[in-house]
Amino acid sequence: MAPLSMNQHDENKPSSPKTQAMKAARWRYHLITLIAGLVLAALAPRAFAQVRIAVVDLQRALLETEDGRRAKAKLKRLFKQRQDELDRRQSELRQMSQELEQQSKVLSAEVRQERIEALQKKAIELQQLYLQYQRELAEREAEYTSQIISRMERILRRIGQSEGYTLILERNEGGVIWVPSNLDLTDVVIQRYNAGEGREGEPPTSSDENEEEAPASGSRSKASSSPGGGADANRSQGGGGSATKATKSGR
């Protein structure tokens, strides 16, 4: 029979005062934890009941307000002008490429090399102009819409404060899959915006709604100085590709 361990105690031996005090302390700790849990469980429904969350679709609001529709129309006009210029240059480049291919056998090596270099230069310029127009469209879109978005945000802050919302999420950026219609503030924002709310603090607007956009031909002199890659230049030489497309910002 194995001897008893030194750590094994006699169960019939009474506990020491120190041991009894430790047991009492543990019981008090468990009792306090239980009470705290019951209190939190009772208060949690009330706390969550006070949280009000709503959503807003700023993209839809932007397209359905009067200012937003005007901004979209201006962007469409600018896009068409820039796209027409790109298409015209693409057509010229394609024609140059076809002529070079047709005359290649009768041209001297020196003239053929000059034509090739001129074609490559125009292809690079076209690519640079395309990148320039992309940046221009993005800048104009931000310019036309930033003031509209700022007004909408002022309206939403008022709604949040007056109606006690804890949080208002942007529907497209907040990852919202579904929300009840009574928590969607988009229509309310559109109505209040079109009624003129939120204009305070805005700089005076210029009457440039009928302002003509800068002609596309005015950008020709800038094309050669614009930073940009000629990654697609060689593809443009072939002349068989589709016309370069500017980024369509008028969404």
For residue range 148-163, list pLDDT tens digits in order: 999 999 999 999 999 9
Determine the pLDDT at residue 35.
Answer: 65
Neighbours of 227 (CB within 10 A): 8
To the nearest whole number, what is the mean pLDDT of the chain?
A: 76
pLDDT tens-digit readout, 218-233: 444 444 444 344 444 4
Q: pTM score, two decimals?
A: 0.58
- Name which of 239, 236, 233 is nearest 94 in CA terms: 239
- Taking the C-alpha atoms of residue 10 and residue 123, their distance in angstroms, rounded to an integer, is 97
CB 56 within 8 A of CB 168: yes
Taking Cα atoms as reference points, which of 84, 85, 69, 80 lies closest to residue 209?
A: 69
Neighbours of 64 (CB within 10 A): 17
Share of the chain above pLDDT 70, in %: 60
Q: How many other CB atoms sit within 10 Å of the CB of residue 249?
A: 20
Whether 208 shows a pLDDT value over 70: the answer reads no
CA–CA gap between residue 4 and residue 216 (Å, rounded): 100
**Residue of higher predicted confidence among 30 and 160:** 160
Tokens for 40? 């939190």
